[in-house]
Amino acid sequence: MTDRIIIFDTTLRDGEQSPGASMTKDEKLRIARQLERLRVDVIEAGFAASSDGDFEAVKAIAAAIKDSAVCSLARANVRDIERSAQALEGAARARIHTFIATSALHMEQKLRMTPEQVLEQAKQSVRFARDKIADVEFSPEDGYRSDPDFLCRVLEAVIDEGASTINIPDTVGYAVPALFGEFIRDLRQRIPNADKAMWSVHCHNDLGMAVANSLAGVMVGGARQIECTINGLGERAGNCSLEEVVMALKTRKDYFNLAVGIDTTQIVPASRLVAQTTGFVVQPNKAVVGANAFAHASGIHQDGVLKARGTYEIMRAEDVGWPTNKMVLGKLSGRNAFKQRLRDLGVALATEAEVNAAFSKFKELADRKSDIFDEDIIALVMDESLASEHEHYRLLALSQHSETGKRPHANVVFAAGETEWRTESDGNGPVDASVKAIESKLQTGAEMLLYSVNAITSGSTESQGEVTVRLQHGGRVVNGVGADPDIVVASAKAYLSALNKLRTNAERVAAQG
Ligand code: KIV
Ligand code: ZN
């Protein structure tokens, strides 16, 4: 019989821990809905005790999602577990994921606890969590660098307390595949009650081996849950990438002989949504979801693919959700065609008012740009979702003048709550002038860490520009994203969107702090 792999997505928790990837409640909810369409088994929606914002996000996701289990991370203490249980109250299927570090380095230097104290706290926390919710996952943080004898004692004890999933993190991405697989296998062999729990792997990508390590954990170690993120998002070099690990299991089923419940046609829409929301652009040569993943540039390859696709393709682009007909809509397209396209793209707008607002934006865009591609529609809907959050700062109008040999000048009109501001400035270029104009009024003092422009669709100067701005202020890092055929306008939108995030996001507690 073919075993099934549980796909546990932690884009909204570990992914969000990337500096600058923090998301608003509405953004998280939108991604959670896409993860449900992707049919992931478990959505780690956040770390409820880390901030009021994350608590609300986990709560909203728990209320909205029906087909995937919804999970909240909790440190191994009463308050975190209680907050998680409260946030998960409305969930159709809820899971608490509690963790404590077990490596000597973390216990001594970070927790300043003895191994016996850690063991006791792990047991008590799992017991407490089990009183609240039936489905409890336990992770020994920095598990791979922990002493195996001590780890066996902790894991046996927490299984006895009722942990139904045991997740082994390679927190710092130190493992190599063969050793990681053997590590999991040895734990499972040595722990007498190991068969009472589902075994899981959680690999970070510091040495670029997160996917390989996860697969070794499955094949050699016998794990049956993989923790991963869309686009491999996550702290430092990120986590195991969902799209890569799932497509490896599917494409090499002859070798792995394992089933996954993922609807792979939702992979590319999920990847785009996460990239557009966080501003973490996907590199063109990224496996499965990179713009070049299915592009055949060399003449020999093109010739081969035209004669027989299998010559250079091991997966079909349409099976992972790359749109087959690239050009979709234009100026003459009606509301029904627009709604149908949204459905095809897996975009669910909650109300008719949202559809109407998106449709009128679509019409505005179609007046300025002859061909509207899928990517344009996603950007437009993202923009609409931002606007519908009643953002404090909103761009109302922008004009700029630049001329060879003259210093560019920008006039910007933007709303700050109910107030309308008119402002102007010079700058090195029109983008700089626009940002300086906004700053001259608001004087936020935020430091810009990143400014990037990407063409939403390739191959034409008609493309919309998508701008990402990363700002740092008061120890916090946020990303703002804006899209428009005019990149100066897109830049001003992105800047204001980042300022909105700086304004609203409450302080968070770091999961691995
Ligand atoms: O990497 C890690 O150790 C984690 C744990 C909290 C599971 O993310
Ligand atoms: Zn992690």
Give pLDDT tens digits for 140-195. 999 999 999 999 999 999 999 999 999 999 999 999 999 999 999 999 999 999 99
Cβ of 99 less than 6 Å from ligand 1: yes
Closest ligand 1 atom to Cα of 204: 1
What is the pLDDT at residue 437?
97
Query: pLDDT tier at 296 (50, 70, 90 boundaries)?
Result: low
d(CA 447, CA 470): 8
Q: How many Å lie between the centroid of ligand 2 and the Cα of residue 240? A: 9
Residue minimizing CA distance to atom 1 of ligand 1:
171
Output 294 or 263, whichever has higher pLDDT. 263
The answer to whether 141 touches 154, Cβ cutoff 8 Å, is no
pTM of model > 0.75: yes
Q: pLDDT tens digit string along 369-411?
A: 877 877 788 778 776 554 555 689 999 999 999 999 999 999 9
Q: Is 376 in the pocket of ligand 1 (CB under 6 A)?
A: no
Residue % of the chain over a pLDDT of 90: 68
- CB within 8 A of 95, min separation 6: which ones? 42, 69, 70, 71, 72, 88, 133, 135, 136, 137, 165
Q: How far is the CA of 166 from the centre of ligand 1 (A)?
A: 12
For residues 448-474, give the mean pLDDT. 86
Q: Kindly give the distance from the C-alpha atom of residue 202 to the centroid of ligand 2, in angstroms, as a whole number.
A: 6
In three state form, how does the secondary structure of 238-300 look? Answer: CECEHHHHHHHHHHCHHHHCEEECCCHHHHHHHHHHHHHHHCCCCCCCCCCCCCCCCCCCCHH
Indicate the top mutation candidate among 14, 84, 98, 146 to test ligand 1's pocket, ranked by most ligand atoms within 8 A of CB: 14
Mutation pick for ligand 1 pocket among 47, 97, 103, 139 (CB with most ligand atoms within 8 Å):
139
pLDDT by residue (tens digit) across 77-128? 999 999 999 999 999 999 999 999 999 999 999 999 999 999 999 999 999 9
Q: How many CB atoms lie within 10 A of CB 509?
A: 12
Ligand 1 atom showing the smallest separation from residue 512 Cα: 6
Question: Is the CB–ligand 1 distance for residue 166 below 6 Å?
Answer: no
Cβ(111)–Cβ(122) under 8 Å?
no
180 lines ligand 1 (CB under 6 A): no
DSSP of 58-117: HHHHHHH--SSEEEEEEESSHHHHHHHHHHTTT-SSEEEEEEEE-SHHIIIIII---HHH
Q: How far is the CA of 381 from the centre of ligand 1 (A)?
A: 33
Q: Is the CB of 8 under 6 A from ligand 1?
A: no
CB neighbour list of residue 287: distance below 8 Å, 6 or more residues apart: 241, 243, 244, 247, 293
- Enter the DSSP assignment of 218: H
- The answer, yes or no, to whether any atom of ligand 1 lies below 6 A from the CB of 14, is yes
**With a 6 A CB cut-off, is 141 part of the ligand 1 pocket?**
yes
CB atoms near residue 206 (< 10 Å)? 17
Q: Which stretches of 411-486 are DSSP H helices?
A: 430-442
Residue 122 CA to ligand 1 center (angstroms) comes to: 15
Q: Where are the beta strands (DSSP E) in 353-406?
A: 372-373, 393-401
Confidence (pLDDT) at 357? 84
How many angstroms is it from 29 CA to the middle of ligand 2?
Answer: 21
Residue 478 · residue 22 · CB < 8 Å: yes
Separation between Cα atoms, residue 194 and residue 286, nearest integer Å: 37
495 lines ligand 1 (CB under 6 A): no
Q: Kindly give the number of the ligand 1 atom that is closest to the alpha carbon of 17.
A: 8
